[in-house]
């Protein structure tokens, strides 16, 4: 790990000022991803601004039935929060499927948004990686691609976003509140993360001097929501494919649907094509399959991750099926 100077920010203003004139600064929340990447010399900040003691730890109900979540709420606290467990079960489940209890006790919601990929070649300093070292190439293509993306990838980068929590947020129409010395703005979660295109090192809409201060969720379309994570171990492994889904039906017809995918794309993937097919369609396995097919029509695979397309299709169908049955199966 490279030497850096450490600043502990007692309030948001100090934090923002600390990074305003410092081009190579990083905010430190729970540290679960940043400290790891610094130790691997992937992240090499000159200044680390510790924001973990900022008073951004509230979970508040909003008028209109939504929820405002402080950026420094710990993952475990959010998963256990009664508002989240009852109204947004998909979010609670997504968090509890992620990492380990120890990591969930450390990791913050804001930090989770900025989690970086687990691509093996991104982590390995000896390998070419356009994300880590712009224009150096992509060693993942032609290499081990089992964990890589099939949607939204480019010839420059096929890495996936590793978060579970963000997949649920994408399905829940979350908005991200960010602040800098220049002011406050709101970014829809689905527009927060960037696709790689020819600039895979640009991962989000966040400017270097901006701090994520809160996430806001609108009232849920339904409390019937679910997160399904498919992985190589029964616990403590990143998703091969995950599905966050909320489904409302009436008279056997889908009246509202929210669907997002994890493990398949460089960002938490809101499945808008699938939602379009689902809306107004009969709540049947055939519709679910048609929706999955519509979403995955654009998928492209490498040698090592062709299976993800079929796996995503099956997981979407299974998750929607669970939501329309009594929900007890898994």
Q: Which residues pair with 243 in a beta bridge?
A: 228, 261
List binders of another protein among 167-186 (CB under 8 A): none
d(CA 175, CA 217): 7
| 233 makes contact with another protein (CB under 8 A) | yes
Which residue from 21, 64, 183, 234 is in contact with another protein, where contact means CB under 8 A?
234
| Nearer of residues 171 and 195 to another protein, judged by Cβ | 171
| Nearer of residues 90 and 187 to another protein, judged by Cβ | 90
Applying CB under 8 A, the span of 118-126, 249-257, 270-278, 285-293 interacting with another protein comes to: 118-126
| 133 makes contact with another protein (CB under 8 A) | no
| 159 makes contact with another protein (CB under 8 A) | no
Other beta carbons within 10 Å of 199 = 16
d(CA 317, CA 242): 12
Residue that the structure tokens 């200044």 belong to: 47
In sign, the C-alpha dihedral spanning 274, 152, 123, 205 is negative
| 136 makes contact with another protein (CB under 8 A) | no
Query: How many amino acids of this chain bind another protein (CB under 8 A)?
Result: 66
List binders of another protein among 41-60 (CB under 8 A): 41, 48, 50, 52
Distance, C-alpha 231 to centroid of its chain: 16
C-beta separation of 136 from 109 below 8 A: no
Which residue from 68, 85, 194, 289 is in contact with another protein, where contact means CB under 8 A?
85
CB of 182 to another protein, least distance (A): 27
Q: What b/e sequence results for 291-328 when a residue is b if at least 16 CB atoms lie within 10 Å of its CB, and e otherwise?
A: bbebbbeebebbeebeebbebbbebbbbbbebbbeeee
List binders of another protein among 293-322 (CB under 8 A): 307, 310-311, 314-315, 317-318
d(CA 240, CA 49): 33
Task: Tally the C-alpha atoms within 13 A of residue 5's C-alpha that lie toward its C-beta.
Answer: 7
d(CA 201, CA 91): 28
| 232 makes contact with another protein (CB under 8 A) | yes
List binders of another protein among 11-30 (CB under 8 A): 28
| Nearer of residues 157 and 176 to another protein, judged by Cβ | 157
DSSP 35: H
DSSP 170: H
| Nearer of residues 194 and 314 to another protein, judged by Cβ | 314
Task: Return the closest-CA partner of residue 215 out of 267, 261, 166, 256.
Answer: 166
Which residue from 46, 86, 181, 236 is in contact with another protein, where contact means CB under 8 A?
236
Which residue from 124, 216, 273, 293 is in contact with another protein, where contact means CB under 8 A?
124
| Nearer of residues 192 and 288 to another protein, judged by Cβ | 288
Per CB under 8 A, residues contacting another protein are 1-6, 8, 28, 31-32, 35-36, 38-39, 41, 48, 50, 52, 76, 79-80, 85, 92-93, 96-97, 99-103, 105-106, 118, 120-121, 124-127, 142-144, 146-147, 230-238, 240-241, 307, 310-311, 314-315, 317-318, 328-330
């Amino acid at each position: 790990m490279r030497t850096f100077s450490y600043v502990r920010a007692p309030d948001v203003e100090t934090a923002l000022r600390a990074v305003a004139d410092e081009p190579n600064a990083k905010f430190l929340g729970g540290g679960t991803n940043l400290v790891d990447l610094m130790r691997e010399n992937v992240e090499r900040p000159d200044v680390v601004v510790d924001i973990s003691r900022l008073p951004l730890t509230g979970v508040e109900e909003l008028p209109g039935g939504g929820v405002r979540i402080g950026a420094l709420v710990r993952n475990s606290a959010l998963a256990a929060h009664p508002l989240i467990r009852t109204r947004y079960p998909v979010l609670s489940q997504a968090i509890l499927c992620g990492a380990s209890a120890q990591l969930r006790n450390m990791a913050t919601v804001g930090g989770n948004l900025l989690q970086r990929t687990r691509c093996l070649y991104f982590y390995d300093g000896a390998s070419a990686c356009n994300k880590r070292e712009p224009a150096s190439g992509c060693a993942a293509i032609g290499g081990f691609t089992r964990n890589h993306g099939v949607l939204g990838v480019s010839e420059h980068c096929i890495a996936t976003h590793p978060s579970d929590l963000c997949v649920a947020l994408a399905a829940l129409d979350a908005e991200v509140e960010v602040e800098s010395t220049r002011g406050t703005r709101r970014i829809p979660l689905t527009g927060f993360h960037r696709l790689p295109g020819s600039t895979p090192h640009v991962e989000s809409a966040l400017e270097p001097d901006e701090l994520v201060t809160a996430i806001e969720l609108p009232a849920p379309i339904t409390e019937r929501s679910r997160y399904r994570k498919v992985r190589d171990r029964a616990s403590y492994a990143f998703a091969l494919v995950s599905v966050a889904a909320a489904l409302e039906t009436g008279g056997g017809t889908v009246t509202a649907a929210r669907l997002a995918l994890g493990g398949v794309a460089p960002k938490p993937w809101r499945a808008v094509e699938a939602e379009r097919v689902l809306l107004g369609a009969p709540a049947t396995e055939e519709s679910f399959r048609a929706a999955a097919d519509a979403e995955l029509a654009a998928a492209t695979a490498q040698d090592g991750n062709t299976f993800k397309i079929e796996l995503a299709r099956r997981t979407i169908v299974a998750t929607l099926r669970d939501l329309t049955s009594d929900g007890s199966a898994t």
